[in-house]
Amino acid sequence: LVATYLAANSQLQVLDLSHNPLRDAGAKALAEVLCQNRVLSRLDLSHSGLGPEAGAALGHMLKSNLGLRELDLSHTQLGNTGVESLSRGLKANTTLRSLNVSRTGAEDKAAVGLAQALVGNRQLTRLDLSHTRVGDAGAKALCDALQVNPVLQVCDLTGSSVDKSWLKLVANIITGRSKSGGHK
């Protein structure tokens, strides 16, 4: 029903479907419509029962969507598979500025996928991986990506399994970059 409405309403800029039991099927229908949507700029699907299949559909959507600026998928069950699918879409995306995948069960494998996407992505400025199972291997991959990605300003790893030394390095890379005018 929401996907049908969204397809017909070309003026809607913000859609908050948080705390609704969309599950994977609802997210798939929504993602299909959003592939062609250029107006919706903010989508909140947090607490909506999404799993890995929703991540795959939304990742596919990110490859072609030219309007979405903020995507909140926090408090879902995307896991590594769903977040990795999002990462593949993020590689090709040119508009998304903020991605929240906190409390999704993501681990190092998902963080490595996001890091690979960040190497070529020059739009994302905020990435929230807080309260996930990301550990030192994921943090290392993110640090490597941050060395070549000049635009990410926030990489939230609060409550993750990352050692404090890696957290400090992530912060130092971002802080040092902002002090030097965005280039490292």
Residue 104 lies in a domain: yes
Cα angle 70, 73, 77; round to 5: 165
**Phi/psi at 72 (nearest 5 deg)?**
-110, 115
The reply to whether 158 falls in a domain is yes
Identify the domain containing residue 18 by its residue range: 2-131+142-171
- The pLDDT mean for the chain works out to 94
**Whole-angstrom distance, CA of residue 67 vs CA of residue 75:** 24
**177 domain-assigned:** no
Q: Could you tell me the two tokens for 99?
A: 């991605």
The torsion angles phi and psi of 146, rounded to 5 degrees, stand at: -65, -25
Residue type, 67: G
Do 45 and 27 touch, CB atoms closer than 8 A? yes
Q: What is the pLDDT of residues 67-87, one digit of tens each?
A: 999 999 999 999 999 999 999
**Which pLDDT tens digit goes with each residue over 72-128?**
999 999 999 999 999 999 999 999 999 999 999 999 999 999 999 999 999 999 999
Q: H-helix or E-strand containing 165?
A: helix 164-179
Residue 42 belongs to a domain with what CATH number?
A: 3.80.10.10
Domain membership flag for residue 179: no
- β partners of residue 71: 43, 99
Q: Tell me, yes or no, whether 106 lies in a domain.
A: yes
Question: Does any domain span residue 16?
Answer: yes
CA angle 148, 184, 86 (to 5 degrees): 30
